[in-house]
Amino acid sequence: MRRRHTIQPRQRFVKIESGGLGMSGTHNILVIGAGSIGERHLRCFQSTGRCQLALCETMPERREVIAEKYGVPSYASLNEALASGKHDAAVIAAPAPFHVSIARQLTGHGVHLLLEKPVSISMDGVEELADEVANAGTQVNVGYMMRGLPALSQMREAVRSGRFGQPVQLVVTAGQNFPFYRPAYREIYYADPAMGGGAIQDCITHHLNAAEWLVGPITRLVADSEHCVLEGVTVEDTVHVITRHKNVLGSFSVNQHQAPNEFFMTVLCERGAARFQMIGQRWYSAQQAGGEWQLEAEHPAERDDYYIMQANAFLDQIEGKRRPVCSLAAGIQTLKVNIAILESVMTRTWKDIA
């Protein structure tokens, strides 16, 4: 039976002279980084109506523009923001190489973290961060937002219930025209692997994390990638990965240059299959031999709605109402996968993941 669910309309933000929202909020959230993703987080947290916001950005012109646009106070440095003593939680939307150092500094001040993906570009300082978070008792969520999507969550529940039998294979195919969605891709972090750029660290990492959530951690992989189409950069825009999730076989085929925007994640099981379609937020099932996919549910939403759901989930988490959508441990596991893929491409060999 077809079930259609519509995400609740977003609450509009109200710009006021003192910064933050025009309604009282419990939490004071510091957004670190005023790039496109930082601005999106600022806008979407503001739309929840549950918190006060402030911005930390080192680039003066960008800081002034975004702070004025959303009517929030701003800081030129993290030290300045921490000295204010106002913030109980922070969103780390700076480039990936700086995630861990910023997170450790904030954790030392008892600040809860929404840490953008990936956790980092290497394992340097990552285990230390995990230990410090455990000792501080602070909350951390890693920004792999696919785990919070209603259709994918429902599909996972159906797969894990045993309705289709044990999973045996997972297949991901995805592609989009990246320049259409991010025209400035040549001038931002994406152009530099050392800043977390390229399809492996910036794109397929989302799919890998969601797959691990569905069928378990990746234990072994081999990968290939190439720069094929995108002009003005040399980073990979096409990636193929073959994975093992213990007994489950996986494959991922992703590009950032095809004309249509599409994403499909299919879990094949002993007695049927389930498929998630990102566009339209739908999931399907198939159990009859020779039959067709049957629509189970759809959840139409705009892109900001995903991040508003993530913001509300994070606020619920720091209020003790729910577990993290993506824990720090799960984010670290996916970082290990990212690193293994990059190594596999370089060495042309299979890689085991501890």
Query: What pLDDT is attached to residue 151?
Result: 98
The whole-angstrom separation of Cα 42 and Cα 52 is 10
Q: For 253-310, what is each residue's pLDDT tens digit?
A: 999 999 999 999 999 999 999 999 999 999 999 999 999 999 999 999 998 999 999 9
Residue 248 lies in a domain: yes
Residue 17 has pLDDT above 90, yes or no: no
Cis-peptide, bond into residue 183, ω within 30° of zero: no
Residue 270 lies in a domain: yes
Average pLDDT over residues 42-50: 97
Query: What pLDDT is attached to residue 5?
Result: 54
Residue 179 lies in a domain: yes
Three-class SS state of 129: helix
The answer to whether the CB of 110 falls within 8 A of the CB of 140 is no
Number of domains forming the structure of the chain:
1
Q: How many Å is the maximal CA-CA distance in the chain?
A: 65
Residue 1 has pLDDT above 50, yes or no: no
Q: In what order do the strands lie in the sheet with 112-115?
A: 74-75, 51-56, 27-32, 89-92, 112-115, 140-142
Q: For 134-154, what is each residue's pLDDT tens digit?
A: 999 999 999 999 999 999 999
Residue 77 lies in a domain: no
Q: For 150-162, what is each residue's pLDDT tens digit?
A: 999 999 999 999 9
Which residue segment(s) compose the domain that 229 sits in?
146-301+327-352
Residue 224 lies in a domain: yes
Average pLDDT over residues 47-74: 97
- Mean pLDDT, the chain, whole residue set: 93
Report residue 354's pLDDT band, with 50, 70 and 90 as the boundaries.
confident
Query: What pLDDT is attached to residue 22?
Result: 33
Residue 176 has pLDDT above 70, yes or no: yes
Residue 80 lies in a domain: no
Q: For 192-245, what is each residue's pLDDT tens digit?
A: 999 999 999 999 999 999 999 999 999 999 999 999 999 999 999 999 999 999
Query: What pLDDT is attached to residue 26?
Result: 80
Amino acid making up residue 180? F
Residue 162 lies in a domain: yes
Query: What pLDDT is attached to residue 309?
Result: 97
| CATH code for the domain in which residue 173 is found | 3.30.360.10
Query: What pLDDT is attached to residue 24?
Result: 43
The answer to whether the CB of 31 falls within 8 A of the CB of 93 is yes
Q: pTM for the full model?
A: 0.92
Those residues whose C-beta lies under 8 Å from the C-beta of residue 192, and which sit 6 or more positions away, are 235
Residue 94 lies in a domain: no
Report residue 4's pLDDT band, with 50, 70 and 90 as the boundaries.
low
The whole-angstrom separation of Cα 50 and Cα 66 is 20
Tokens describing residue 345: 């491409």
The whole-angstrom separation of Cα 214 and Cα 331 is 14
The answer to whether the CB of 102 falls within 8 A of the CB of 32 is yes
